[in-house]
């Protein structure tokens, strides 16, 4: 017998998560920058919405490999990245005013909190009013799961900033 992957239930759960995170992202953009929301809506209508839902498993085997970071410091492309706060610490954002890394999970109330990052395209669209969030994922003692939705624009499309 052939197995359909992903299962119907798993696919439905991912689609529901995507729709929920997409709606939260729209609300966030509406509050942050009507221009960014208008740009994103234009991309969506022209079928240039290249937003993605990412699922990560960090095995946290750094003691064996000698690696401290699961994911090195970077800023995401697109407008915003958002997702549920993980129950395992490891996500850090750089605070330029304090010149230090802050652990995001310490500021969340898992499992109900949502993390939202400004991304590089939002920084460009708002003329630097909202800076892209420099972040990284450091190793922890236990495996870490992360589900993130990135609202992205096709930078080659007719609506690109």
Q: Angle at which helices 34-45 and 8-32 pack, to 10 degrees?
A: 140
**Terminal CA-to-CA distance of the chain, rounded, Å?**
49
Structure confidence at residue 160 (pLDDT):
40
Structure confidence at residue 158 (pLDDT):
38
Please name which of 69, 54, 68, 65 lies closest in space to residue 21, comparing C-alpha atoms: 54
Structure confidence at residue 45 (pLDDT):
76
The full DSSP string for 71-97 is EEEE--SSSEEEEEPPSS--EEEEETT
77 touches 119 (CB < 8 A): yes
Structure confidence at residue 149 (pLDDT):
92
Structure confidence at residue 155 (pLDDT):
63
69 phi, psi to nearest 5 deg: -105, 130
Q: Which residues of the chain have pLDDT under 50?
A: 65-66, 157-161
């Amino acid at each position: 017998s052939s197995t359909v992957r992903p299962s119907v239930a798993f696919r439905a759960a991912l689609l529901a998560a995507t729709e929920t995170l997409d709606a939260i992202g729209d609300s966030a953009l509406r509050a942050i920058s009507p221009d960014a929301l208008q740009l994103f809506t234009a991309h969506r209508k022209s079928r240039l919405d290249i937003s993605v839902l990412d699922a990560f498993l960090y095995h946290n085997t750094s003691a064996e490999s000698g690696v401290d970071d699961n994911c090195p410091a970077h800023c995401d492309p697109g407008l915003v990245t958002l997702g549920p706060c993980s129950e395992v610490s490891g996500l850090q954002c750089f605070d330029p005013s304090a010149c230090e890394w802050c652990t995001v999970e310490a500021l969340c109330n898992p499992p109900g909190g949502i993390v939202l990052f400004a991304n590089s395209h939002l920084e460009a669209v708002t003329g630097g009013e909202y800076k892209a969030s420099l972040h990284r994922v450091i190793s922890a003692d236990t495996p870490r799961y992360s589900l993130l939705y990135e609202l992205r624009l096709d930078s080659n499309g007719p609506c690109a900033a």
